[in-house]
Amino acid sequence: MASITYEDACCVYPGADKLAVDSLNLDIADGEFVVLVGPSGSGKSTALRMLAGLEEIDSGAISIGGRSMVGVAPKDRDIAMVFQNYALYPNKTVGENMGFALKMRGVPVAERTAKVADAAKLLDLTEYLDRKPANLSGGQRQRVAMGRAIVREPQVFCMDEPLSNLDAKLRVQTRTQIAALQRRLGTTTVYVTHDQVEAMTMGDRVAVLKFGQLQQFASPAELYDRPRNAFVAGFIGSPAMNLFTAPVSDGAIAVGGGTVDLDDDTAALLRGTGLSRVTVGIRPESLALADAEGVSSEVALLEDLGSDTFLYAGLKDPDVTTLDGTPVTLVARCPRRTPARIGDGVRLRQTDRAVHLFDPESGERLN
């Protein structure tokens, strides 16, 4: 087991004009489960591969257990990787697949068999040890790949989208199993995904990346409650946070004929900034349908999920804009079977004062 430190770690691919990973700083504690999340191309896999030694660290440093990994070969880093395509040997049985790294290491048969049996038990694979991978379900193959990593008893697990080949239900089930297993083994784990739900449910802490740059590194609750910038605010949470830019006058934000309900401290803070426009973030669960007061809008879409309905309503206020200039659609989490129809005129009100404010230019959090 070991802690991991990224210190201004950079990676640039030959011929690229931009860094794939740009001055990444992360302090990962021994035994911690850290998730790297971000959109496609944000540098997640590259950051993970730098840790495993599969990509060069062009400047800065990465250390494991206090020992610098610069110049250390992948095989000498004591890391086990689990990839999206499990890369199992088709001609070997489950047991042989799981024990292969130990065999290469020259571990005696008896010890190898015992370790494989232990891991198989942990992963519910005992009855499949003599099967070939082709005769397993996707979820079972995924567990074999995990088993192969576990038997090596590495200092660190690196996992790159290990659940992407599973169907939705199995993904949910398997992510719970992986998180529970990691807690049991206590092995420091860096896990890459583009799925923010996976990140939020699995990680002790989550690092959000964009264009190779770290946006925020915090617990799931902190990311949700206090996103550091508008990008993180919009990336974490499903449906996404309502984000729009609106005019400010004397500490009040005007939207659709009404004003955003702010607590006194936030209003004072906003007044102090002297901004004439501000980017506002309100989560769908902080909005509800109102009878009389509230922002008037028109229902554009209803998503009845059985447990809740997400109501999307277009806002008709030319002074309020989205970050990319498209018309503003607000989404509110409403009770299931909400009796509204597309095209209905409705009013939306805030159910609380959980309002996130961001600088409209830099996107940095203000409150």
Ligand X SMILES: Nc1ncnc2c1ncn2[C@@H]1O[C@H](COP(=O)(O)OP(=O)(O)OP(=O)(O)O)[C@@H](O)[C@H]1O
CB of 367 to Mg ion, least distance (A): 34
Q: For residue 148, state whether it binds ligand X (rule: CB under 6 A).
A: no
Residues 87-126 that bind ligand X (CB under 6 A): none
| Shorter beta-carbon distance to ligand X: residue 47 or 346 | 47
CB of 44 to Mg ion, least distance (A): 5
Q: Which does 42 bind (CB under 5 to 8 A by kind): ligand X, Mg ion, none?
A: ligand X
Q: For residue 63, state whether it binds Mg ion (rule: CB under 5 A).
A: no
Q: Which does 41 bind (CB under 5 to 8 A by kind): Mg ion, ligand X, none?
A: ligand X
Interface map 40-69 toward ligand X (x if CB under 6 A): xxxxxxx-----------------------
CB of 44 to ligand X, least distance (A): 4
CB of 158 to Mg ion, least distance (A): 12
CA 18: distance to chain centroid?
23
Judged by CB under 6 A, the residue of 2, 9, 10, 20 near ligand X is 20
| Shorter beta-carbon distance to ligand X: residue 2 or 36 | 36
Judged by CB under 6 A, the residue of 1, 13, 76, 352 near ligand X is 13
Helices (H), 158-263: 168-185, 196-202, 220-225, 230-235
CB of 45 to ligand X, least distance (A): 3
Name every residue whose Cβ is closer than 8 Å to that of residue 296 and which is 6 or more positions away in sequence: 256, 257, 316, 345, 346, 347
CA 214: distance to chain centroid?
12
Q: Which does 13 bind (CB under 5 to 8 A by kind): ligand X, Mg ion, none?
A: ligand X
Residues 190-209 that bind ligand X (CB under 6 A): 194
d(CA 185, CA 42): 30
Q: Which amino acid is at 147?
A: G
Contact 310, 237 (CB under 8 A): no
Cα end-to-end distance, the chain, whole Å? 38
- Taking Cα atoms as reference points, which of 340, 337, 335 lies closest to residue 351? 335
Q: Which residues on neighbouring strands pair with residue 361, listed in sequence order?
A: none
| Shorter beta-carbon distance to Mg ion: residue 45 or 140 | 45
d(CA 84, CA 160): 6
Strands (E), the chain: 4-11, 21-28, 33-37, 59-64, 67-68, 79-82, 156-160, 188-193, 205-210, 213-218, 242-249, 252-255, 258-259, 277-282, 287-290, 295-304, 308-315, 329-335, 345-350, 356-358
| Shorter beta-carbon distance to ligand X: residue 56 or 96 | 56
Q: Which does 46 bind (CB under 5 to 8 A by kind): Mg ion, ligand X, none?
A: ligand X
Q: For residue 45, state whether it binds Mg ion (rule: CB under 5 A).
A: yes
- Taking Cα atoms as reference points, which of 335, 337, 333, 287 lies closest to residue 310? 333
Q: Which does 38 bind (CB under 5 to 8 A by kind): ligand X, Mg ion, none?
A: ligand X
Q: Which residues on neighbouring strands pair with residue 159, listed in sequence order?
A: 82, 191
In the DSSP assignment, the letter for residue 347 is E
Contact 18, 11 (CB under 8 A): no
CB of 11 to ligand X, least distance (A): 8
| Shorter beta-carbon distance to Mg ion: residue 38 or 256 | 38
Q: Which does 40 bind (CB under 5 to 8 A by kind): Mg ion, ligand X, none?
A: ligand X
| Shorter beta-carbon distance to ligand X: residue 4 or 287 | 4
Give the CB-nearest residue to Mg ion.
45
| Shorter beta-carbon distance to ligand X: residue 34 or 278 | 34
Judged by CB under 6 A, the residue of 9, 26, 38, 236 near ligand X is 38
Q: For residue 216, state whether it binds Mg ion (rule: CB under 5 A).
A: no
Three state DSSP letters for 75-133: HHCCEEEECCCCCCCCCCCHHHHHHHHHHHCCCCHHHHHHHHHHHHHHCCCHHHCCCCH
CB of 48 to ligand X, least distance (A): 8
Contact 232, 215 (CB under 8 A): yes
3-class state of residue 245 by DSSP = strand
Site residues (vs ligand X, CB under 6 A): 13, 16, 20, 38, 40-46, 194
